Each structure stands twice: as C-alpha cells, then as structure tokens.
Amino acid sequence: MDELQALIERQRIVDLITELFVSTDRRDWPAVIGCFTPKVQFDMSSLGGAPPAEVAATEIVAGWERGLAPLAAVHHQAGNFQVRLRGDEADVHCYAIASHYLPNPTGRNTRVFVGSYDLGLRAEAGRWRIHAFRFNAKYVEGNLELEKAAAGS
C-alpha cells in the first residue's frame, strides 16, 4: 500500500470509529450495528463486565440500547487515534470519554467514563468494520447510581 492510500485508509478507519460513537449518541442503532462485523471479540471487563467473548453485534447494540435508554443524553468523545494498518486489517488505540446525563433530585446528574479503546478492524466489501472491541477503563467519576437516583424522584 502506498503512502497516499495508507492515509486514505487511516482516515476511513477513524471516520468509522467516529461514526460508531456519534451514532451511539444519536441512538441510531442500525448505524451502530453497521460499524461492526456480525460477530465481535468484545471486552468490557475493565468495568466489571463479563469476561472477553465473541458476541453478536446485534446483542452488543441491544445491550447498549437498553442501558442508555433511561438517560437524557449521552456524549462520547474520542481522540489520540493510533492506527496500525496491516493490509485488510488494522489495529487502533484511542482515548475516549463517555458522559451520561440524567437530571435527578440529588443534583448529581452526570457520570463520566474515562479510558481508552483497543479496536481491531477488517476491510469487508470495501468497508472497514470493527471485529474486536476492548474498553480499558482508567476511572469513572460522578453519580455511579444515576438511574437509581432518578427513579427516586
């Protein structure tokens, strides 16, 4: 791959990851599913989730849809992208912050997740898709019981 094509592919990869986060914030679940391969090596264990496993993209997105449904707003911000191309595959590491907002009687209306992602991508039919997804939590701050606090109103 020449340098120009590598730059184009790198931008396409960053655009796909950006689309994943923006579509999640918009709750555009079909667009989110479109960012993944049908099966994904999925790892959210750094937040106390299940151990790493191969999970259907539809199952991942259904879980996000249920989990984010009570929130008034969700905002993801990603950056510091490090992309390593390997032909039709790529490894990406990036920083990310996710903010959850839900007004409630405590006045503690937000919860913020700070960490990084390690993503594996594969080019399929001329389009990059995520086949491996790991979140590496650095810290979580704010109201860890946001939904419970709002339910008490």
**CATH code, domain carrying 146:** 3.10.450.50
Strand order in the sheet with 73-86: 53-56, 36-43, 127-142, 110-124, 89-101, 73-86
Q: What are 63-118's pLDDT values in tens digits? A: 999 999 999 999 999 999 999 999 999 999 999 999 999 999 999 999 999 999 99
Domain count across the chain: 1
Predicted structure pTM score: 0.94
Residue the block writes with tokens 């209306």 = 109
Relative to beta strand 53-56, strand 36-43 is antiparallel
pLDDT of residue 153: 56
* Segments forming the whole domain that contains residue 69: 3-151
- Number of Cβ atoms within 10 Å of the Cβ of 53: 11
Q: Where are the extended beta strands (E) located within the chain?
A: 36-43, 53-56, 73-86, 89-101, 110-124, 127-142
Is the predicted pLDDT of residue 128 greater than 80, yes or no? yes
